[in-house]
Chain A
Amino acid sequence: MAGLTLERVNKRFGSTQVIDDVSMQIDNGEFIVFVGPSGCGKSTLLRLIAGLESITHGDLMIDDQRVNNLTPPERGIGMVFQSYALYPHMSVYDNIAFGLKLAKQDKQTVDERVRQTARILQLDELLERLPKALSGGQRQRVAIGRAMAREPKILLFDEPLSNLDAALRVQTRNEIARLHERLGSTMIYVTHDQVEAMTLADRIVVLNAGHVEQIGTPRELYERPASRFVAGFIGSPKMNFIQVTAEADAEQGCRVEIPAVGQRTLPLALSAGGPSETTLGVRPEHLIPTASESGEGLEIVNVEYLGSEAYLYMERDDGELLVCRTQAPSPFRRGQRVTLDFDPTHAHLFDRDGRAVPPRARREARPEPQGADS
């Protein structure tokens, strides 16, 4: 089987543990995206895979071969850097050809490969230019071209779009998706932009403080977050979190007592025992507001109109904001009071450690989201 395997990979800088026991399995041709907050170790993990940093302990395998000790070209990787890192004194042609020449390819092969790469990336017209005479998007394409010219087995991207403006970012994102389709090579992509992650990835790896929170398809992450961290990180606006007391109920799942809403029953398999402090998570689109005449419920403190949808913000007694997504134009106004309810099948419950409470086992069991330690 071809692909990439990380087995309990660790990285320390001095005494700080930056990557903590990361294991994962990446299939050949997959598009994997690493996301996580700033400083969580995304770049470091990517650089470990590239061979630019040494693995403190653990194994990295490419195509079932242990590659911890191989140089980047020997590992067969190509990398696109955030700042592009084009060689400023070389033309586009030479930038793309540099690695090929160093690999001792004959002149003709080099020329063919460069031109072919340029064709794929629509750089034909720019081959003689210097990087400083290119636009940001063009530079980005040259950087990609340089990384893929050697036909690496694995292409790595470290926040490649963060220096582009919004419009160009969407366009280049599409180009990268199509490139993946066309090349079929394994790609690992680091970003902190969850839209990029959701749109590009076959599977997303959510990192937090050096460890893997969850690995799964975008849909799995969105619908079945394995932890409160993932639930809060994926999705915009963020999931609403409410402190609740929950108690297992053998018959229907679990009962939760929600302040200002009342008691609800969720189809989740809370472990038996007395009532416990948990966190209820409901995505904005699953909150159902109802106008309240009696002056009960919560006050709408703000309404954001975005054209295709609208967000309502409600302030709770403890000062926390709840957000609700409705169709636009919204029937609600600022200052209005609403009562809230939600669809229990779309509710999430997180225990005190932030772990998600799994759904109740049913006959047609849903696929279990792949957790960090699975």
Chain B
Amino acid sequence: MANRQPTMAQTPAAPTPGGTLETTQPVRPRRERGTRVRRRRVRAAWLFLTPMLVGLALVAGWPLARTFWFSVTDASLSSLEGANFIGLENYLVYDNGWYGILADPLWWQSVWNTLYFALVSVSLEAVLGVIVALVLNAHFRGRTLVRAAMLIPWAIPTVVSAKIWAWMLNDQFGIINHLLMTLGLIDAPLSWTADASLSMWAVIMVDVWKATPFVALLVLAALQMLPSDCYEAAKVDGIHPVRVFFRVTLPLITPALLVAVIFRALDALRVFDVIYVLTSNAASTMTMSIYARQQLVEFQDVGYGSAASTLLFMIIALVTVVYLYLGRRQLGGGS
């Protein structure tokens, strides 16, 4: 969830001052590798980075390497040290039939669920986010208040929002069923979180509710940086607002939208807490994170669970790389 915070690569081509240089002149071939100030700054820079790098190595680098290692062992939660190397057996093995994660239909369902969830919820969030951003970009009284209201779903802890929605979606006493029945849209209460055909939509509904403000805020920031003269020109030319939106606004906010979408997509692909709270370990909404954690913690099978985690990591890395590549191409060489 923390990674709802956007960060984006600015890759400044850093020229290296005082860099290589062959002097052909017969002058004193004295070459300085930067003044002492510079050298001291570079040394200080590494010194200042050290705590962060050590921290990241401790909580990210090393654990990730260990996860990779566990994934090729038969480690269990109670005997991490006594793990034996078993090759790729956790992934796939033939022993009078195929076994391993890649042969587990539940895992394949979790992959499908994850992709489905990510695609649907992120698409909805992108569309809704743009709409909300356009509304917030209009000048009207109370805009600040409305913007604050939009931030509330984002600020509510995921677990809490899942609980609140679980209550609203409750099959017997939930207000949503009550409302739908009062309006005559349904005859009998729906069991949103338990019914396999509905639970995924319940989960998507909660995620869209919670994450749309984030997309809207990023898009809004981009909208507010748009040059107003394009619009004035379009207005003078009498172009229909809808056309202005598709011809002028949308292309200009696309970079911000792409950034928002990648962050949302990365979040959606590793989704855990909403689903865990709302539908627990039900197969119909099981995602890759849920699957991996279930193996790791509940079944205590660290080797198998680590293999599932490793696959999730690989898939997310793949999606990121592909997305960045496509995004960069679309933006014409990137930033």
Is any CB of A less than 8 Å from a CB of B in the complex?
A: yes
Whether A57 lies near B15 (C-beta < 8 A) is no
Contact partners of A14 in chain B: CB under 8 A: 15-17, 19
- Interface: A359 (CB within 8 A): no
- Most A CB within 10 A of own CB, among B16, B28, B29, B30: B30
Task: Confirm or deny: B27 has a beta carbon within 8 angstroms of a beta carbon on chain A.
Answer: yes
Q: Does A289 contact B (CB under 8 A)?
A: no
Asked if A69 lies at the interface with its beta carbon under 8 angstroms from chain B, I say yes
Mark contacts of B70-90 with chain A using CB atoms, 8 A cut-off: 1 yes-contact digit, 0 otherwise: 000000000000000000000
A12 touches B32 (CB 8 A): no
The interface size of chain A toward B, counting residues with CB under 8 Å, comes to 19
Q: Give the residues in chain B near A55, CB-CB below 8 Å.
A: 32, 35
In this complex, what residue of B is CB-closest to A7? B28
**Residue A243, interface by CB 8 Å:** no
Q: Are B31 and A57 in contact (CB under 8 A)?
A: yes
Considering the chains assembled together, what is the distance between the CA atoms of A14 and B14 in angstroms?
A: 10
Cβ A68 vs Cβ B32 within 8 A: yes
Given A51-B35, A68-B35, A69-B32: A56 in contact with B18 (beta carbons within 8 A): yes
CB of B32 within 8 A of CB of A72, answer no
Docked CA distance A68–B36 (Å)? 9
Contact: B30 with A54, CB < 8 Å? no
- B143 on the interface (CB 8 Å rule)? no
Quote the shortest CB–CB distance from A102 to chain B (angstroms).
14
Report whether B27 and A53 are in contact in the complex, using a CB–CB cutoff of 8 Å: no
**B31-44 contact mask (Cβ, 8 Å, vs A): 1 or 0:** 11111111010000
**Contact assessment for B23 and A57 in the assembled complex, using a CB-CB cutoff below 8 Å:** yes
- With both beta carbons as reference points, the residue of chain B lying nearest to A71 in the complex is identified as B37
**With an 8 A cutoff between CB atoms, is B21 at the interface?**
yes
Are A54 and B38 neighbours in the complex by a CB distance under 8 Å? yes
Determine if A54 and B21 form an interchain contact, defined as CB atoms under 8 angstroms apart: no
A55 to B16, CA, bound (A): 14
| A59 partner, pick from B15, B23, B30, B31, beta carbons under 8 A | B30
A85 at the interface (CB under 8 A from B): no
Tell which of A54, A59, A69, A72 touches B17, judged by Cβ atoms closer than 8 Å: A54
Q: Is the CB of B36 within 8 A of A57?
A: no
Across the interface, which residues of B come within 8 angstroms of A21, CB to CB? 27
A57-B34 contact given A13-B15, A13-B17, A14-B19, CB 8 Å threshold: no
Residues of B near A8 (CB, < 8 A) are 27-28
Please measure, in the bound complex, the distance between the C-alpha atom of A13 and the C-alpha atom of B21, giving whole angstroms. Answer: 10
Q: Are B34 and A54 in contact (CB under 8 A)?
A: yes
How many whole Å from A61's CB to the nearest CB in chain B? 13
Q: Is the CB of B37 within 8 A of A72?
A: yes
B24 to chain A, nearest CB (A): 12
Chain A residues with Cβ below 8 Å from B31 are 56-57
A52-B37, A54-B38 known; A12-B27 Cβ under 8 A: no
Q: Are B32 and A57 in contact (CB under 8 A)?
A: yes
Q: Does A259 contact B (CB under 8 A)?
A: no
CB distance from A51 to the nearest CB of B (A): 6
Closest chain-B Cβ to A234's Cβ sits at a distance in Å of: 30
Which residues of A are found within 8 Å of B16, using beta-carbon distances? 14
Instruction: Give Cα distance in the complex from A21 to B23, angstroms.
Output: 12
Interfacial chain B residues near A70, Cβ < 8 Å? 36
Any B CB within 8 A of the CB of A58 = yes
Using CB atoms, name the residue of chain B closest to A66: B30
Question: Which 4 residue pairs of A and B lie closest in terms of their CB atoms, listed nearest first?
Answer: A54-B35, A54-B34, A14-B15, A54-B18
B residues in contact (CB < 8 Å) with A = 15-19, 21, 23, 27-38, 40
- 13 A-B pairs with CB atoms under 8 Å apart are A14-B19, A52-B35, A54-B17, A54-B18, A54-B33, A54-B35, A55-B32, A57-B27, A57-B30, A58-B28, A68-B32, A69-B35, A71-B35
